[in-house]
Structure formats: C-alpha cells, structure tokens
Structure 1
Amino acid sequence: MSNILNIINEYSGIIVIGLAIITLLLLITTIILLVSVNKVEKKYRKMMRGMNNKNLEEVINSNLDNIDVALNNSKEALASCGKIAEDLKLCVNKVAIMRYKAFADVGSDLSFSIAILDSYNDGVIITGIYSRHDSTTYAKPIDKGISRYDLSEEELHVLNEAINK
C-alpha cells in the first residue's frame, strides 16, 4: 500500500491535471446537453401550446377528426365544382358578331349577324337587316353547329367564328 501512495505522491501533478481535463470535458458535455434539452423543451412547449390539461393522444385524435372533416368538405367542393363545370357547358360561352352593309344604298354598316352558342355548339344566330325603309330582325336556331335553315355568307362567317372560339 505504501508503494501505491508513493506512486500517487510522485505523479500527483499529472493526476491532478488529468482529473482537471476530465472535469473540463464533463463540464463541456453538460453544457452541450443542457442546450440540447432546452431546444427539445422549446419544441415540446410549442407543440403543446393551448393544450390545457389534455394529453397528447386526445390532441392527435382531435386533429385527425378535423383532418377527416376537411377531407370530406374538400371532396364535396370538388364534386360541386365538377357539377358546375358541366352546367357551364350549357351556358352561352361562344359569341361572335359581324356588322355589314346589307344594301349598297344604305350609308353605314347597320345590319348585323350575331351567333350565340354554348359548349355543344347549340344556340341561335340573330340577324338584323337594315334598309332605308324598314328594319327586319330574325333568328335561326343552331343545333350542334348546324342550322336547318339556309345561312347567308355573313351568318356562316359568325357561326364559324363562334364555333372556333
């Protein structure tokens, strides 16, 4: 035992320096661990904010229920949008108009033809013919881009223009 005490006394400076280095390393490790724990605690507090005495399972289940409700609402909205898109195909969405001079003795382009069609090229062509003594307006139905009545050159022009929109 005295040999051990002699060795300790002989190398006591080196032992103290070694223990000081180990203590310093432990202090640095402790500081690093405290910083890491503080980061985790901040994340935990952020995650648990607004949770008054609720456990995490209740919070997660509540959020999952909210997600299910949001998904159902989203599906309903998409279905409604699809129905609206189909309904819009039946609305007027193609229009073309042309003004022209029907008779040489009339001074301005007062006659007109207008094509009003839906997405299926169903609709009407309205034509107004203006002359010095009278004005006549008439309509021709259009079914799938075709009229069962003869069309004038101007009416064919507005029909093709509207179909190609």
Structure 2
Amino acid sequence: MKIVVESVINSLNEYIPYILGGMSVIILLLFILVIVLFKSVNKLENKYRRLMRGTSGKNLEELLISQLENIEKANSNSQEALDRCADMRERIKECVQKIAIMRYKAFEDVGSDLSFSVAILDENNDGVMLTGIYGRQESTTYAKPIDKGISRYDLSEEEIYVLNEATNKSSK
C-alpha cells in the first residue's frame, strides 16, 4: 500500500507544473469573470439609483400609483377639452362666417358709388342682406332675411351677386 501511495505521489509530482498552469488559467478566468460581474452590478446599481431618484423615501409602488392617478386626471381633462371643442364647433356654425359686400351707383345722376349691399351669413347660409340706396334727396336702408341662401323677398341684381358671392365662400 505504501508503494501505491508513493507511486501516486510521484505521478502527481510529474504533473504538478501542468496542474498549477491549469489552475492558474482557471483562476485568471474566474478573476476576469468577477471583474465583469462587478461592472454589471455597478451598471445595474446606477440604473436603480436613477430609477429611485426623487422618491424621497416613498416606495416605488406609491410613486407609480400617484403617477397613474395623474395620467387619469390628464386623460379626463383631455376628454373634457375635446368635448368642449366639439360643442364650440357646433356653436360656431351659427356665427357669422361669410360676408360679401358690393358698392355701386344706384342712380345715374348721383356722382359716386355710395349705395351698397352686404350679405352676412353663417355656415348654413342663414343671415341677413343689408342694402343701402343712396340718392340725392334721401338714403334708404333695407334688411332682408336670408334662409338657406334664399330670400323670400325679391332681390336686386346687385343683391343677388353679393348673396352668390357670400354663399360660395368656404366656411373653413
């Protein structure tokens, strides 16, 4: 038995330089692996610190819940603003959007084009036609209602021209 133990020890003594070389390579690889792991942990720790920055002692769950509440409030405010915009669009349809004017000389003996016709319409071509006729002795102003681009009163040539000009304007 002593011989066997001595034989094993002699065999080990022969291979000790190879064993030490192999162990040195393994130790070097493990050292490199430890350095890489430290760098990875350091990067992860930096990301964690950036994530937790500004929490002032609150836990992350409370912070996320408060942010979700803020998002819900913002969505609610946004929807309310969209609803108001839709309401305003409907209301604006009834506002004055189309105007056309024409100045002209109603009578040959009057020196300037002091007579006028003005069409004032909303998006649906509802509104009023104002006409002022200027003469030497008097001046008269007429108002004629316009419904869907049509007047139930007779229109002069100038009034028809102004009404057509106003109704052909785009309301956008």
Same fold (TM over 0.5): yes
Give the aligned partner of residue 72 of structure 1: 76
**1:131 equivalent in structure 2:** 135
1:32 pairs with one of 25, 30, 36: 36
Does 2:98 match 1:91?
no
1:106 is matched with 110
* Displacement of 1:115: 0.8
Q: Note the aligned Cα RMSD (angstroms).
A: 2.0
Distance, in Å, in 2 between the alignment partners of 1:6 and 1:23 is 25
1:59 aligned to which of 53, 58, 63: 63
TM superposition shift of 1:2? 4.2
Q: How far does residue 141 in structure 1 lie from its aligned partner after superposition?
A: 0.7
Identity among equivalent pairs (%): 62
Q: Partners of 1:17 and 1:153 in 2: how far apart?
A: 112
So what's the TM-score if we normalise by structure 1?
0.86
Summarize the Cα distance change of 1:3–1:58 in structure 2 as closer, same or farther, 3 Å threshold. Answer: farther
Which residue identity does 1:152 align to in structure 2? S
Which residue in 1 is equivalent to 2:19?
15
Deviation at 1:3, TM superposition (A): 4.4
State the one-letter code of the partner of 2:104: Y
The structure with more radius of gyration: 2
Deviation for aligned residue 1:8: 4.2
Task: Give the whole-Å Cα distance in 2 for the aligned partners of 1:103 and 1:3.
Answer: 140
**Residue range with higher mean Cα deviation, 69-78 or 26-35:** 26-35
Farther-moved stretch of structure 1 (67-76 vs 30-39): 30-39
Q: 5+ unaligned residues in a row in structure 1: which ranges?
A: none
Q: How many residues align?
A: 165
Q: C-alpha separation between the residues in 1 aligned to 2:84 and 2:119?
A: 30
Q: Residue in 1 aligned with 2:123?
A: 119
Q: Any idea what the Cα deviations from partners look like across 1:73-124, whole Å, max 9, x if unmatched?
A: 1111111111111111111111111222222333333221111111121110
Query: 2: distance between equivalents of 1:18 and 1:89?
Result: 88
Deviation at 1:34, TM superposition (A): 2.5
Calculate the TM-score normalised by the size of structure 2: 0.83
Structure 2 runs not aligned, ≥5 long: none
